[in-house]
Amino acid sequence: MKKAAFHNLGCKVNYYETEAMLQSLEENGYQIVDFEDKADIYIVNTCSVTNMADRKSRQMLHKAKKNNPEAVVVAVGCYVQAVGEQILKDNGVDIAIGNDQKGELSEILRKYYDENGEAFVVEDLKHPRCYENISIVREDNHTRAYIKVQDGCNQFCSYCIIPYVRGRIRSRMVGDVITEITSLVAQGVSEVVLTGIHLSSYGLEKLRASGDYGGQTFATNYLLELIERVSAIPGLKRVRLGSLEPRIITEDFALRLAQIPQICPHFHLSLQSGCDSVLKRMNRMYTAAEYREKCEILRRCFDNPAITTDVIVGFPGETEDDFETTREYLKEIKLYETHIFKYSPRRGTQAAIMKQQVPESVKNERSATLIELGAGNAHDFRESYIGRRVEVLWEEVESVEGRDYLTGYTREYIRAAVPADAGREPGSVTEVTVEGFLTDEIMICK
């Protein structure tokens, strides 16, 4: 029995795909071991969203070969798509697999061993393709499962390599999503997170193929139909959505979501900048005022929803005034959580060759400023729930300052805790009252 080890880099979609590949090898007789152990095969699901991600991918590939020089090292995913056959020359890689062949891992390995099969299994993703229907058969967490329903992106933000390494948009069949989730719920999963490379584009290629889409940017009804069908699965208690494009949020969209009891009022809307001139150079296709309007729609349709975002600091040409505009904007709209990223030039993107690249020292200062601001906003949002009754999906017991607590998450993704001996069980969903802060990030409840 051959031993295989996996390492995942990058986003939730990558995480899901890694789990699918791992479970596929298990089904085909491989023994899965820890990446630090000696294995016959090492599989690294790579990331290429930044130059730093490229470097981490290379490091993990080298580490795999160092762990066992005789092992077969398999590089999979975005970094492979980005660098092409070059990856076989300088990273100790024996097999390279692209983003649309992950479901073929077991067969690729069989052919490699038995038939001297291909070492480079990567296809051009520039042209329309069908969705590669990989799936997971179990979720070891047993409470929450990430479910990939969409792949690809057509947005071409000026800083982003993803459309080039993930290809054009393609969507999973509703029936396949329902079948997978139904099986996971039967095993004890209570919550699913619908995710994709550009979730808001779900179904858009189907709409365009109909020839009667009227130039729509999003196939909103397709996504809503998927959400409604998933929410109707017996036994599923919660549905959470992955990152959404701000422009998909309309009054009708939010009201229809609000009518679904299983929907969690937790929405990630990527902002990237609060300054219109920066947004324009990023090719984000909305203004700061339009983003604010989307937040207001969600706050009208849901009771104190959690809205989270991403912000890039130090984008080429971002002046001190531009940064101050973003800082003031974030102070005003007061989002729950703000993930701050320092701009990193990505080879192959328009932004990498823009003039007025911002010095690293300036990026560090701006990042620290927004991280501090974001921590204050997060504290204020959690504090606004003190005294409220909330629903918590309990997950695991952990120790805080020497005492055991059962912890979990509210529908708004606020981390909550009760004493471990309070009579609640992992996997259960109960209502509690928020009393205050146990730590900066965990609320104590009763």
Residue 211 confidence (pLDDT) = 76
Residue 375 confidence (pLDDT) = 98
The answer to whether the beta carbons of residues 115 and 132 sit under 8 Å apart is: no
Q: What is the pLDDT of residues 205-233, one digit of tens each?
A: 988 888 777 778 898 999 999 999 999 99
pLDDT (average), residues 306-331: 98
179 φ, ψ (degrees, to nearest 5):
-60, -45
Instruction: Measure the CA–CA gap between 61 and 46, rounded to whole angstroms.
Output: 9
**Top-confidence residue, 89 or 373:** 373
Residue 90 confidence (pLDDT) = 74
The answer to whether the beta carbons of residues 348 and 78 sit under 8 Å apart is: no
Q: Quick one: which of 296, 300, 254, 291 has its CA closest to 269?
A: 291
Residue 103 scores a pLDDT above 80: yes
Planar angle of CA 257, 134, 125, nearest 5 degrees? 90
Q: What is the pLDDT of residues 244-258, one digit of tens each?
A: 999 999 999 999 999
Q: Quick one: which of 27, 392, 30, 402 has its CA closest to 6?
A: 30
Instruction: Measure the CA–CA gap between 365 and 313, rounded to whole angstroms.
Output: 10
Residue 115 scores a pLDDT above 90: no
CB atoms within 10 A of CB 210: 8
Task: Give SS3 for 294.
Answer: helix
Residue 274 confidence (pLDDT) = 98
439 φ, ψ (degrees, to nearest 5):
-135, -175
For the chain, give the mean pLDDT: 95
Residue 152 scores a pLDDT above 90: yes
Residue 235 confidence (pLDDT) = 97
Q: In one letter, which amino acid is 266?
A: H
Residue 51 confidence (pLDDT) = 86
Residue 141 confidence (pLDDT) = 75
Residue 209 confidence (pLDDT) = 84
Q: What is the pLDDT of residues 260-299, one digit of tens each?
A: 999 999 999 999 999 999 999 999 999 999 999 999 999 9
Q: What is the pLDDT of residues 345-359, one digit of tens each?
A: 998 999 999 999 999
Instruction: Measure the CA–CA gap between 350 and 160, rounded to whole angstroms.
Output: 8
Residue 338 scores a pLDDT above 90: yes
Q: What is the pLDDT of residues 407-432, one digit of tens each?
A: 999 999 999 999 999 999 999 999 99
Q: What is the pLDDT of residues 26-71, one digit of tens each?
A: 999 999 999 999 999 999 999 999 888 999 999 999 999 999 999 9
Residue 208 confidence (pLDDT) = 86
CB atoms within 10 A of CB 403: 11
